[in-house]
Amino acid sequence: MKYFWLVLVLLIIVLVWQLWPTPEVVPPVVSDEVVIGDQTPPDSATLPPESAKTDDNTVTYLDNGYQPKELSVKVGTTVFFQNGSISPLWTASAMHPTHKVYPGSDIAKCGTAEAATIFDSCRNLSPGESWSFTFTQVGRWNYHNHSNPSHFGTIVVAN
């Protein structure tokens, strides 16, 4: 009889433990994407009109990288970076991950008032979306896709 009560108490404890509601544990989202600032895209009023796009000043990002890989423009030219892939596109000045090669650019400026003035889209562009930057400095400016740093290109800016 002594064992009967012991087994009964153990069964009750096991049943209560099994039926007691447990809080849902949500696993953390793991990503290698760097998020800085509020990631709000620049005000559309500061972007050049879509009609300013031409084949001469557009770089298209495809699944295998940027096309063309090198583009030559004159100082003051606005270059459009079009996401023609199925992947995210975050165009930014070299070097990964700091984005500091183009004068004044720095990933730390994303999410600040200076974000609109740096060679950095400061966010991922969805397929079909585009971003533009006006080159005011003469030079050979390397850039990359921050979301896939193995994809890169060059803008050559001359007078």
Percentage of residues of the chain with pLDDT beyond 70: 74
Q: How confident is the model at residue 41 (pLDDT cuts 50, 70, 90)?
A: very low
Q: Enumerate the β-bridge partners of residue 69.
A: none
CA distances from 119 to 54, 80, 97, 106, 135 (A): 20, 12, 13, 8, 8
Residue 89 to residue 99: CA distance in whole angstroms: 15
Residue 39 to residue 74: CA distance in whole angstroms: 30
Query: How many CB atoms sit inside 10 A of residue 23's CB?
Result: 5
The model's pTM is 0.67
DSSP secondary-structure letter at 93? E
Residue 68 to residue 130: CA distance in whole angstroms: 15
Domain boundaries, the chain: 55-158
pLDDT tens per residue across span 107-128: 999 999 999 999 999 999 999 9
Residue 106 to residue 92: CA distance in whole angstroms: 9
CATH class for the region spanning 55-158: mainly beta
Residue 19 to residue 22: CA distance in whole angstroms: 9
The backbone torsions φ and ψ at residue 7, rounded to the nearest 5 degrees and listed phi first, read -65, -40
Residue 11 has pLDDT above 50, yes or no: yes
Tokens of 14: 């096991």
- What is the pairing mode between strands 78-83 and 58-62? parallel
Q: What is the pLDDT of residue 47?
A: 46
Tokens of 13: 């404890």
DSSP secondary-structure letter at 113? G
Residue 16 to residue 46: CA distance in whole angstroms: 62
pLDDT tens per residue across span 42-90: 444 444 455 466 668 999 999 999 999 999 999 999 999 999 999 999 9
